[in-house]
Amino acid sequence: MSMLNNKLDNYKIILASGSPRRKKFFEEMGLDFEIQLKPVEEVYPDTLKGAEISDYLSELKAQPFKESLQKNEIVITSDTVVWHKDKSLAKAASAQEAREMLQNLSGDWHDVITSVCFTTHQQQQTKHKITNSSFAPIQIYATC
């Protein structure tokens, strides 16, 4: 059992994410956890910028759990945004939109911002990490 599991031995960890990458990350850390999903409309005020958006959305995803959390439960929610030219890039809705997004990122820098929110019945704490990333210039070809 890992040292982290020893510290969390009396807690039930709830990962509120359907992301296979996040599930794998928890498994690789050796954490005992369960996945629970509750639907949330991921809408944020347009006045938010950068990490404020991912912080807000990760906290929003914890809201449906707050009233039912037991004393020994910790719910972990997360959100990632791509911040480019003072704008948040949402997931592409189509192949064409994805091509346009990649073309805009081509040869330029952007921030990948991930926020993680830890919520118990008594408190909530949110942390984020910003990774400045770039794409080499790429040529995007349209498909028929």
Say which of 79, 86, 108, 111 is annotated catalytic: 79
Whether 79 is catalytic is yes
| Count of beta carbons in the 10 Å neighbourhood of residue 43 | 9
Listed residue (116, 127, 114, 119) closest to 12, CA to CA: 119
Query: How far does CA 21 lie from the centroid of its chain?
Result: 11
**Any idea which residues carry the catalytic annotation?**
79
